Amino acid sequence: MKITVIGTGYVGLVSAACLAEVGNDVLCLDMDPVKIKLLEDGGLPIFEPGLQDMVRRNVTAGRLHFTTDLEKAAHFGTIMFIAVGTPPDEDGSADMQYVIAAARNIGKYMTDYKVVVDKSTVPVGTADAVKAAIAEELALRGVDTPFSVVSNPEFLKEGAAIDDFMRPGRIVIGSDDEQATLNMRALYAPFQRHHDRLIVMDVRSAELTKYAANAMLATRISFMNELANLAEKLGADIEQVRKGIGSDPRIGYDFLYAGAGYGGSCFPKDVKALIKTAATDAGMEMRVLSAVEAANNAQKHVLGSKIKARFGKDLTGKHFALWGLAFKANTDDIREATSHAVIHDLLAAGATLTAYDPVAMHEAQRCYPNEPRLTYADNQTAALQGADALVIVTEWKEFKSPDFPTIKAALKSPVIFDGRNLYEPKLVRGMGFEYLAIGR
């Protein structure tokens, strides 16, 4: 198939590369010429394991192309994915200007039948707005070219996106048009050879499914974090509690790990957007999700509170090693990351920091360009030198089995604040560390 993907951000680029990988001819459109030049030269604007090799392989094979030409992109694909950003507005709602602009550009230049696919995470009713925008542009041209609009929300985990796309657990298609549904079934056939994973539903239900999925996962995380805070006060171990409740098949083990709060480009934004959609479009208060959001915002400051409880509210003269800046492992994404709250809390109390992250330091340097009290180390061991304590924020694999004697020798005091519960408390405390984790 010939496919156009509008937007070369995280979702757009992963989708384009994976669709090209199975033999499709894919053209990526982005209005940022610097980003397109970077992609054409074999670079990537994001970090995702395995993506660079896949992009280069399909560019070399002639199946993956990049352009800034709107008209060329509109003429190219029969299936046109809209995968542009939907950042949160000041009121928490999703900013739809880029989605609608993409739709209008399709309407301005299309000359034959198109299946327009909303791949971006968008509020319920977006497909109707996209359809109206395209129809309006066609009317201005005085033409009646047929098209369909479907919803196909993405369920990609940063750090495992290629595997999620190539081996999907489910493929949700929101479609009210039989021809469009047939096209989407054909498109996704190579990704579900063993059994049918494609779920077809009405468009609005598909749009809500994406928000509902992320809101449910965020709810599980915030619930476990609150339970961890309670366990700590009651003298219980949240890891033992997790095993106890996770063994119930009605609950399961996924997304039951307590920590220092969730972040990233999806959960915080989508929870806010669903709360706003409910209030604006349905006059409803989402009480559970409002609590989830409040609990998560508070959880991001738990590490800072533990550090100040141990070293005092005034941290002037104290220096801390920070392991991890990304919101999770295997990504360079620091949007809404807990590291921001930790950095803010410690700097505000007068401390200095040396941070290390395997891939996200360049993003942090961009966010904190003029902060002399925040420095960066070339490796995790270098970050420890002269620090009063180690603070772990991201669960990178290389942090999971460190050289504890080296850590102890490098620190001024053998204190570890673990925001991701990476270690067994008895083991670490047995080596002479003061170990402060979450709910342990």
* Distance in Å from the first CA to the final CA of the chain: 53
pLDDT, residue 229, reads: 98
- The model's pLDDT over 261-289, given as tens digits with 9 standing for 90+, comes to 999 989 999 999 999 999 999 999 999 99
Q: What is the value of pTM for the model shown?
A: 0.92
Report, as an integer, the average pLDDT of 322-342.
Answer: 97
Question: Which of 18, 28, 266, 367 is the catalytic position?
Answer: 266
Confidence of residue 193 (pLDDT cuts 50, 70, 90): confident
Q: Which has more pLDDT, 86 or 373?
A: 373
In contact, 355 and 374? CB cutoff 8 Å: yes
Tell me how far apart the alpha carbons of residues 420 and 224 are, in angstroms, rounded to a whole number. Answer: 12
- The model's pLDDT over 407-437, given as tens digits with 9 standing for 90+, comes to 999 999 999 999 999 999 999 999 999 999 9
pLDDT, residue 52, reads: 95
Tell me how far apart the alpha carbons of residues 114 and 1 are, in angstroms, rounded to a whole number. Answer: 12
Report, as an integer, the average pLDDT of 235-255.
Answer: 97
pLDDT, residue 302, reads: 98
Q: Is 266 designated active site?
A: yes
pLDDT, residue 210, reads: 93
Confidence of residue 153 (pLDDT cuts 50, 70, 90): very high
Report, as an integer, the average pLDDT of 180-191.
Answer: 97
Task: Count CB neighbours of 420 within 10 A.
Answer: 23
Report, as an integer, the average pLDDT of 128-156.
Answer: 97
- Which among 25, 63, 59, 27 is positioned nearest to 40, based on CA atoms? 59
Q: Are strands 2-6 and 79-82 parallel, antiparallel or unpaired?
A: parallel
Task: Count CB neighbours of 289 within 10 A.
Answer: 21
Phi, psi of 11 (to 5 degrees): -65, -45
Report, as an integer, the average pLDDT of 320-329.
Answer: 97
Q: Mean pLDDT, the chain, as a whole number?
A: 96
Q: Among 82-86, 353-357, 421-425, whose mean pLDDT is lowest?
A: 82-86
pLDDT, residue 128, reads: 96
pLDDT, residue 103, reads: 97
- Which among 217, 226, 224, 222 is positioned nearest to 240, based on CA atoms? 224
pLDDT, residue 301, reads: 98
pLDDT, residue 297, reads: 98
